[in-house]
Amino acid sequence: MKQFSQFSLRQKLLLPTVIIMVFCIACLSFTLVSVQKNQLNRLEKSVKNGLTRSNNVADETYAELGKEVSHDLQLMSNALSASIEQTCRESLEEEKLRLEAELNSALRQSAESIANLLAQVAPPAILSNNFLDLIGYAKSATQNSDIIYAVFMRSMVNR
């Protein structure tokens, strides 16, 4: 190999220039990497803070929405309960009236059938003044728990 003194001026300047350029490029690269790292760290902190604030706002919003939904559900539940209660009350009242009417009708039919039966069997006992048979008919009629007493009356209709 040739000695360094034997190289031309161009070759002698080229080596230090290349070394300086490599060193400058290395320093610039290190500086750029360092600056980018710092910027990435600041960006990371900024993104974390932004996400934390967004998360807190979302949590507060969801908590408020949860309270509103709970309140609305409670109101709906109360309204529905009141509506069901009113509907049931009306239905039960209608059923009560219907059952009372049916019961009164059944009692009237029972009373009329027993009265018709007594009206058919009593005339011979009345005409013959057979009071024992009439008392037996009255006792038999009162065996029905819906009948309190039985009375034989003369009809006021003109014959």
Domain membership of residue 25 (yes or no) is yes
Q: Measure the CA–CA gap between 70 and 63, rounded to whole angstroms.
A: 10
Identity of the amino acid at 97: L
Q: Are 110 and 145 in contact (CB under 8 A)?
A: no
Domain membership of residue 72 (yes or no) is yes
Tens-digit pLDDT profile for residues 95-130: 999 999 999 999 899 888 888 888 888 889 888 888
Domain membership of residue 155 (yes or no) is no
The pLDDT of residue 45 is: 95
Domain membership of residue 102 (yes or no) is yes
Tally of domains in the chain: 1
Residue 9, pLDDT above cutoff 80: no
Residue 6, pLDDT above cutoff 80: no
Domain membership of residue 116 (yes or no) is yes
Instruction: Report, as an integer, the average pLDDT of 2-25.
Output: 82
The pLDDT of residue 129 is: 87
- Could you tell me the residue range of the domain that residue 31 belongs to? 7-141
> How is residue 67 written in tokens?
């309270």
Return the exposure string of 12-21: e unless at least 16 CB atoms fall within 10 Å of the residue's CB, then b. eeeeeeeeee
Instruction: Report, as an integer, the average pLDDT of 49-72.
Output: 94
Domain membership of residue 82 (yes or no) is yes
The pLDDT of residue 157 is: 63
